[in-house]
């Protein structure tokens, strides 16, 4: 391989590595934004009706219930029951969406105020779905 070929190969390797790093950074930011503040991050005190489905089905159901017109998951409380609709094929594990939506049932406002981002749990290795 000549010097031009080696240069192109190195450039492509560096480009692939940078793309991977940027992609991973966006995933970390996305997961951190989903994580609720500690005061709302606890089990719901009543029954929970959980529905897990594809993201397209979840968006359709959430839009039809006016629970979350722009999101991929939604929740609402009706007669003391926390209803949550979660995608099983989107950018985060189902367990991350579950914590997020149950936090809304626990009173976390829709504008998502956060506490200290450095106190967030590790959700990247969360395999419970």
Domain count along the chain:
1
Give burial (CB, 10 Å; 0-12/13-18/19+) of 53: middle
Q: What range defines the domain where residue 37 resides? A: 3-119
What confidence tens digit (pLDDT) does each residue in 4-39 have? 777 777 767 766 666 665 555 555 655 667 889 999
Compute the distance between CA of residue 32 and CA of residue 35 in angstroms, rounded to an integer: 5
Phi, psi of 35 (to 5 degrees): -70, 125
Compute the distance between CA of residue 107 and CA of residue 124 in angstroms, rounded to an integer: 25
Task: Using the Cα atoms of residue 88, residue 81, residue 109 and residue 120 in order, give the sign of their dihedral.
Answer: negative
Residue 75, in any domain of the structure = yes
Residue 36, in any domain of the structure = yes
In this predicted model, which residue has the larger pLDDT, 32 or 122? 32
Residue 70, in any domain of the structure = yes
Residue 102, in any domain of the structure = yes
Residue 24, in any domain of the structure = yes
pTM for this predicted structure: 0.70
Joined together, the tokens standing for residue 71 give 């999101």
Residue 128, in any domain of the structure = no
């Amino acid at each position: 391989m000549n010097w031009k070929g080696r240069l192109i190969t190195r450039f492509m390797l560096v480009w692939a590595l940078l793309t991977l790093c940027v992609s991973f950074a966006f995933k970390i930011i996305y997961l951190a934004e989903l994580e609720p503040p500690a005061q709302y991050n606890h089990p719901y005190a009543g029954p929970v009706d959980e529905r897990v489905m594809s993201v397209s089905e979840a968006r359709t159901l959430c839009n039809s219930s006016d629970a979350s017109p722009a999101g991929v998951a939604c929740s609402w409380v009706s007669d003391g029951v926390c209803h949550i609709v979660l995608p099983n094929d989107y950018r985060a594990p189902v367990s991350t969406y579950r914590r997020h939506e149950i936090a809304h049932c626990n009173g976390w406002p829709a504008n998502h105020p956060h506490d200290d981002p450095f106190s967030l749990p590790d959700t990247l290795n969360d395999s419970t779905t």
